[in-house]
Amino acid sequence: MEFDTISAISTPMGEGAIAIVRLSGEEAIEIADRIFIAKSGKRLREMKTHTIHYGNIVDPKTEEVVEEVMISLMRGPKTFTREDVVEINCHGGLVSVNRVLQLVLINGARLAEPGEFTKRAFLNGRIDLSQAEAVMDLIRAKTDRAMNVAIGQMEGRLSNLIRGLRQELLEILAHIEVNIDYPEYDDVEEMTHQLLVPKVLNVKKEINTLLQTSSQGKILREGLSTVIVGRPNVGKSSLLNSLVHENKAIVTDIPGTTRDVIEEYVNVRGVPLRLVDTAGIRETEDIVERIGVEKSREVLKSADLILLVLNNNEELSIEDVRIFEAIAGMDAIIIINKTDLATKISLDQVKELAGNQPVVTTSLLQEEGIEELEEAISSLFFSGSIEAGDLTYVSNSRHIALLNQANHAIDEALQGIDQNLPIDMVQIDLTRTWELLGEIIGDAVHESLINQLFSQFCLGK
State the pairing for strand pair 85-92/65-74: antiparallel
Q: Is residue 121 part of a domain?
A: no
What is the residue range of 97's domain? 6-112
Average pLDDT in the 55-72 region?
93
Look at the chain and report how many structural domains it folds into: 3
192 and 247, same domain (yes or no) = no
Q: Is residue 295 part of a domain?
A: yes
Q: Phi, psi (5° rounding) for residue 108?
A: 125, -10
232 and 347, same domain (yes or no) = yes
Q: From CA 437, how far away is CA 144, in angstroms rounded? A: 28
Q: Is residue 125 part of a domain?
A: no
State the pairing for strand pair 110-111/262-268: unpaired
449 and 412, same domain (yes or no) = yes
> For position 420, which CATH number holds?
1.20.120.430
Q: What is the mean pLDDT of the chain?
A: 81
pTM (two decimals): 0.67
Which range is least confidently modeled, 302-306, 366-370, 423-427?
302-306
Average pLDDT in the 186-205 region?
76
Helix axes 116-123, 447-455, angle to 10 degrees: 140
Q: Using the 3D structure, point to which of 385, 414, 435 is the last residue of a domain.
A: 385
Q: Using the 3D structure, point to which of 332, 350, 385 is the last residue of a domain.
A: 385
377 and 235, same domain (yes or no) = yes
145 and 270, same domain (yes or no) = no
Which are the contacts of 82, defined by CB distance < 8 A and separation ≥ 6? 76, 120, 121, 124, 125, 126
Instruction: Render pLDDT for 306-354 as a digit per residue (tens, 0 to 9).
Output: 899 999 999 998 888 888 888 888 889 999 999 999 999 999 999 999 8
Q: Is residue 30 part of a domain?
A: yes
362 and 312, same domain (yes or no) = yes
> For position 93, which CATH number holds?
3.30.1360.120
Instruction: Render pLDDT for 101-125 as a digit per residue (tens, 0 to 9).
Output: 999 999 999 999 988 998 999 989 8
Using the predicted structure, report yes or no on whether residue 282 has a pLDDT greater than 90.
Answer: no
Q: Is residue 124 part of a domain?
A: no
Q: Using the 3D structure, point to which of 112, 127, 162 is the last residue of a domain.
A: 112
68 and 179, same domain (yes or no) = no
Q: Which pLDDT belongs to residue 294?
A: 57
Pair 110, 146: CB distance under 8 Å: no
254 and 377, same domain (yes or no) = yes
Q: Phi, psi (5° rounding) for residue 360?
A: -125, 140
270 and 360, same domain (yes or no) = yes
196 and 250, same domain (yes or no) = no
